[in-house]
């Protein structure tokens, strides 16, 4: 699941954790982000993401909210309780004001609605936050 040993990735690249249960979208995000020289790890749900975060350090988390086992809200809640300082971008189909407000209250810096944001623009948002 980890792209860390990919020889095409520059050393010192920023590490991104993609938390997404739709494997096709997760793979598309991994391809796009690795082509932009990010090191990408993938978790299919919030529980796996928390396990990875306990083992490795990441520069940014890109997460969906509707996930099996542990959703994005619960994952962000647990991270907030642990004093998380990693920037979080939510990429979700949810777009209600209360969902956006809830995600922001749990530490999301950016909230992107999947249907409104082309995949090619995701690195722009990440780069803006990681500057």
- Nearest 10 degrees: Cα torsion 113, 117, 122, 125: -70
pLDDT along the chain (131 residues), means of 10: 41 87 97 96 98 97 97 98 96 96 97 95 96 88
pLDDT given for residue 2 in this prediction:
43
Number of domains in the chain: 1
- 52 three-class SS: helix
Range of the domain at 115: 15-130
Q: Is residue 7 part of a domain?
A: no
pLDDT given for residue 5 in this prediction:
39
Q: Is residue 6 part of a domain?
A: no
Which residues, 6+ apart, have CB-to-CB distance to 86 below 8 Å?
Answer: 53, 58, 59, 60, 61, 79
pLDDT given for residue 9 in this prediction:
40
pLDDT given for residue 10 in this prediction:
44
Task: Decide if 60 contacts 129 (C-beta within 8 A).
Answer: yes
Q: Is residue 85 part of a domain?
A: yes
Q: Is residue 3 part of a domain?
A: no
Length of the chain: 131
CATH number at 108 reads 3.40.50.2300
Q: Is residue 10 part of a domain?
A: no
């Amino acid at each position: 699941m980890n792209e860390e040993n990919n020889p095409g990735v520059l050393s010192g690249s920023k590490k991104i954790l993609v938390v997404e249960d739709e494997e096709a979208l997760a793979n598309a995000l991994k391809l796009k982000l690795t082509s932009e020289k990010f090191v990408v790890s993938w978790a299919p749900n919030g529980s796996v993401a928390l396990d990875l975060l306990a083992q490795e350090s990441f520069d940014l988390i890109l997460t969906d909210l509707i996930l099996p086992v542990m959703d994005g809200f619960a994952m962000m809640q647990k991270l907030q309780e642990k004093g998380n300082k990693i920037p979080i971008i939510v990429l979700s189909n949810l777009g209600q004001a209360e969902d956006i407000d809830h995600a922001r209250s749990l530490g999301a810096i950016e909230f992107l609605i999947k249907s409104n944001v082309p995949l090619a623009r995701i690195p722009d948002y990440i780069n803006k936050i990681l500057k």
